[in-house]
Amino acid sequence: MKAVRIHQHGGPEVLIQEDIPEPQIRPDEILLRVRAVSLNHLDLFVRAGIPGQKFAMPHILGSDIAGEVLETGALTGRIKPGQRVLLSPGLSCRQCERCVSGSDNRCARYTLLGSGIPGGYRELMAVPEYAAIPIPDDLSFEDAAAVPLVFLTAWHMLFSRARLEAGEDVLVLAASSGVGSAAVQIAKLFHCRVIATAGSDDKRAKAAELGADLTIDHYRQDISAEVKKFTNRRGVDVVFEHVGEATWPKSMESLAAGGRLVTCGATTGFDAKIDLRYLFFKQQSVLGSFMGPLGDLHRVLRFVFRKQLRPVVDKVLPLSAVREAHERLENKEQFGKIVLVP
């Protein structure tokens, strides 16, 4: 079968399409024909190499996957051959205290497809049955592949971590990203006022189409000044942060008294600073978030399947154009998710 693998860390040039053996399933696994796989910034980080983390080579990237079930193992029963499914990007032991209490994203063995284990840049893959979630017939494989990681992450950040309440003011950084475009929609679905940042007029217009009440050019405008103007100097209840060092100071300045900043990433750097005087005097909270439990994925998928939330697909490319896809994401040219079709 065809697959794209990396044999070493580096730029897009290390992505090599080649023939590899077809996988054999274990009794608790299914064999999936991959119909679509979408990119995340994680793909870029793993490809380039993450300091302190080793990856078995050759390695297959790709966390967000949708496809058709070809075969099921002897110990499976919920999933049947022929079903159309998407995959949970996170896998865990399913046995420890954290897993059985619904916090599987905190499992000591929690890992992601395309990171800790080989992912979906290929035609066929074997995965545990519990990771497969059937999708409606009217949801395309391309749209389905644009959902799991970013909608799970955004849902967990807003509800499980920041405890978002209906009607609150929310600042979403980098709305053109997959997780940003998901956060804008989720916050609007629960009747919040959403302020979204983006890096161009075109991206700002698309963020407004998703429901943003105010859009800010984070390159040309002062984020916190615009937020204060829009909220009558109060600030926002929740800041949805995933950019990191470049936006952190303005994100903190945008928080209202009692506000919560929740972050899941640091794409521009991790050396963020906090003035503790403002933090304790204003009784603000800074919250970290990583992925989300499988239950959260099922919760947010209800709204996707009802078409109350929609995946945002920037571009669909063949798997053979994987280098172009990586360059587009790396250059921040996309709005939403870039999808590869094997």
Q: Are residues 248 and 233 located together in one domain of the fold?
A: yes
Residue 259 confidence (pLDDT): 98
- Residue range 21-30: mean pLDDT, rounded: 97
- Residue range 96-103: mean pLDDT, rounded: 96
- Residue range 194-207: mean pLDDT, rounded: 96
- Nearest C-alpha neighbor of 143 from the set 273, 336, 311, 341: 311
As for how many domains the chain has, the answer is: 2
Residue 165 has which token pair?
């309440």
- Give the pLDDT band (50/70/90) at residue 121: very high
Non-local (6+) Cβ contacts of 39 within 8 A are 62, 64, 325, 326, 329, 337, 338, 339, 340
CB 274 within 8 A of CB 241: no
> Cα separation of 184 and 158, whole Å?
11
Residue 160 has which token pair?
């499980």
The enclosing domain of 219 has a CATH number of 3.90.180.10
- Give the pLDDT band (50/70/90) at residue 267: confident
Summary mean pLDDT of the chain: 97
- Model confidence pLDDT, tens digit, residues 211-262: 999 999 999 999 999 999 999 999 999 999 999 999 999 999 999 999 999 9
- Within-domain flag for 316: yes
Q: How many CB atoms lie within 10 A of CB 72?
A: 21
CB 129 within 8 A of CB 79: yes
Q: With 90 as the cut, is the pLDDT of residue 186 above it?
A: yes
- What is the domain range of residue 184? 151-288
Identity of residue 213 = D
Identity of residue 206 = K
Q: Are residues 74 and 42 located together in one domain of the fold?
A: yes
Would you mind telling me the total number of residues written for the chain in this entry? 342
- Give the pLDDT band (50/70/90) at residue 269: confident
- Within-domain flag for 328: yes
- Model confidence pLDDT, tens digit, residues 76-97: 999 999 999 999 999 999 999 9
Identity of residue 280 = F
Q: Are residues 142 and 155 located together in one domain of the fold?
A: no
pTM: 0.95
- Within-domain flag for 168: yes
